[in-house]
Chains A and B, each alone.
Chain A
Amino acid sequence: MIKQKILRYTFILAISLSDLCVVAQDANTGEEIKLPKHESNLIADNAPVFGGIAVSADLVGFAMKAVNARFANMEVAGRLNFCEKYFPIVELGIGDCKKTGGDNNNTFSCTAPYYRVGVDYNMNKKMTGNRFFIGLRYAFTSYSYSFDNPDYADPVWKIHSPLTLHDMNGKNQWIEVVLGMETKLWSIVRLGWNLRFRNRIKQKVSEYGEPFYVPGFGKNGGSTFGGTVNLTFDIGKTAKKNIGK
């Protein structure tokens, strides 16, 4: 029963996609009409149903790690291209944070992987080499974190002892709304950036305290802003066709 439903919805999705990226066709013969590039650069006229794949890396995360920032989300992504409009995407990353408090010698540390899946929609109607994205992501991570205070002093009972809390486990899920753009640099190489609004939907943490940082999310809280600067390698049919003007 479930299998049938999955097949049905997959079929409907495939039909929808083929409808949405209409390639110019002759009404009588049904044959594809190849328009010269100078006559039409509309995506609807030029884009194939499957435009290829792309792989990308976020430069900000690696740069933040290189300069020893408080935290860094180092991630890579794989993306499909349907009709030059719909871009299903999977993002995998490793979040890393080590932060020491100013007056307290408290140290928080966490290093763990995170995962995001979602889709981008290209709002540019023309094949100009530029893409303007609006997108949505579902993200999750499961991680361990540590908190240390080497000289935790009890001022009344006068007992000094280090506070060491290791292997505290946490799980977070959140959604991201993405706004971004990218442009062609050279051949299949693209550069783009996006801004993201992240909203937590679920969190499970240790009773001792919430993590200062959540891998992939950033500073912990109900919501936060973030972003990426992506170096992308666009491989496939569209990459060859989509020569920027």
Chain B
Amino acid sequence: MRTMKRATPILLFIAALLFPASCDTIDCTLYNTVTCQASFYGDGKAVAITDVLTVTTFGVDSVLINQQRDTQTMNLPLSYWQDTDTLVLIITSDTYALLDTLWIEKENIPHFESPDCPTSMFHRITSARVTHTFIDSVTITTPLVNYDQAENLKIHVHTGN
């Protein structure tokens, strides 16, 4: 009994030390980039845009892709709050410049993991449409835009471009 009474405060102290120690880890997702992945296709096969490609946002002075060559896949950050994002795609070479506009309609889904981690915004693409200068059409392959980095859009370009 005496041993028990002596041991109890010591064990209480150890238990008190253990409680906070078990609660202090922060587990944030390491890969926390959320971008819409769009790839170029021609005649049903993946193709690269060999000319210089620039992608800008419409209405906001932001350049998403700046003068990139040999582009097969683009990672496009979508807006957190807008229902429709308007992107301008420009292809330039020595002799010509071609411009198309891509509209992406979406639902925005806030996502959080812990107060210690950055908040993210996922998206669910509901529709996508384009003008047809060098792009033929666009199809949605994976509507949900999240950490998975799956291909979300297929951009079919006119053959020969």
Contacts and interface: CB of A to CB of B under 8 A. Distances in A.
B60 A158 contact: yes
B80 A104 contact: no
Interface of A: 60, 70, 99-102, 104, 106-108, 128-130, 147, 149, 152, 154, 156-159, 161, 163, 165, 181, 183, 191, 193, 195, 207-210, 212, 218-219, 224-227, 229, 244-245
Interface size class of B (residues with CB under 8 A): 20 to 34
Contacts, number: 107
Interface stretch (B16-24, B98-106, B148-156): B16-24
Contacts of A102: 116
B113 A210 contact: yes
Contacts of A244: 1
Nearest to B57: A157
A208 B109 contact: yes
B1 A128 contact: yes
Contact of A226 (B22, B85, B113): B22
Interface stretch (B3-11, B41-49, B88-96, B135-143): B3-11
A199 to B, nearest CB: 14
B114 interface: yes
Contacts of A209: 110-113
A156 B112 contact: no
Nearest to B112: A209
A204 B116 CA distance: 22
B67 interface: no
Contacts of A149: 112, 119
